[in-house]
Amino acid sequence: MTQRRGIIRATAELAGKWFGLLVLLGAVVGMVIPDQTSGLADHVPIFLGIIMFGMGLTLRAADFLLVARRPLAILFGLLAQFAIMPFTAWGISQALGLTGALLIGMVLLGSAPGGTASNVIVYLSKGDVALSVTLTSVSTLLAPVVTPLLVLLLAGSNLPVGFGDMFVSVAQVVLIPVLAGLVLRAVADRWVQKFLPYLPLVSVTGIVVVVAGIVGANADTIATSGWILLLAVIAHNTLGLGLGYGAAKLAGLDESTRRAVSVEVGMQNSGLASSLATTHFEPAAALPGAVSSVWHNLSGSLLASYWARHSPRPADKRPEPDEATEPTAP
């Protein structure tokens, strides 16, 4: 039994290390065998709920103490995320002539909370992990209200669904699973900690399956308009990373905080965007989220590799609070 657990744990560590490449492999599989993978797209909300439950298991009430200790940094990070990314997504869509389902998909992507892999990327980047965990958690808890409002504001004339329906969807696949994981961690912490090292395997597997299903269901659309969609996603992610860092720098925040804000702004919860798209809109609306799942993990890994070789100067590096721990799942 001990040997088996060791093998599973080693596999989970490899999955977390090679997350970006595994997601890319899932996209390739979706394109190569679309008939076999397209059916997975119908179950995206279930897979995302499992991933969000795993995220909830990694959280503790102490993680949210940072809101009280550094409210301005948290508020700034949230404003940057929910202001920069939605409006950037809309602007890029207008510039590239994206309409209909692809416009909705881009706005959904931009209006989503922080991505599930952002904490790991910030950790590898030698950024402020405590701030990253808190921003991801708080933005996720705000998502049921903020995400539908932003989508209705920027793509309202194209939407066949109202605020209430989207609120319920986000609550079902994000808020409820996260809170359930958080509560379970609170009442059975010792038991949950035994399983934390294995969570990356669950998260990575779920995201890879989601990407394979969405790509498989939209293989024809990708073949005809994939290049412009890829350009839109790359521009969106690059601007998010750059503007997030620049805004934090202008605000006078230290280097480790700038890195955390940059990643939190630039990396969105693409699984949520894909889930909302498959639930309420036509399949093509899920494409920006699927492409982003591949791209932002690759770009985030590259950025982390660069920042890891350029550590913040001691004067610019904020000490981690006692509550901050190494992220255990993407």
pLDDT by residue, tens only, the chain of 330 residues: 566 667 777 777 776 667 667 777 888 888 889 888 888 877 777 887 887 788 788 777 776 676 678 788 888 889 999 999 999 999 999 999 988 888 989 999 999 988 767 877 887 788 887 788 788 888 888 888 888 888 888 877 556 666 677 777 777 777 788 888 888 988 888 888 887 777 777 777 877 887 788 778 777 777 776 788 889 999 999 999 999 999 999 988 889 899 999 999 999 888 788 888 878 887 788 889 888 877 887 788 788 878 877 777 654 544 444 444 455 555
Q: Under CATH, what is the fold of the domain 16-312?
A: Na+/H+ antiporter like fold (1.20.1530)
Integer-rounded Cα radius of gyration of the chain:
18
Domain positions in the chain: 16-312
User: Which residue is listed with tokens 């202008």?
Assistant: 250
Kindly give the residue spans of alpha helices, DSSP state H, lying in 97-174. 100-111, 118-124, 129-155, 163-170
Answer for the pair 217, 29: CB distance below 8 angstroms, yes or no: no
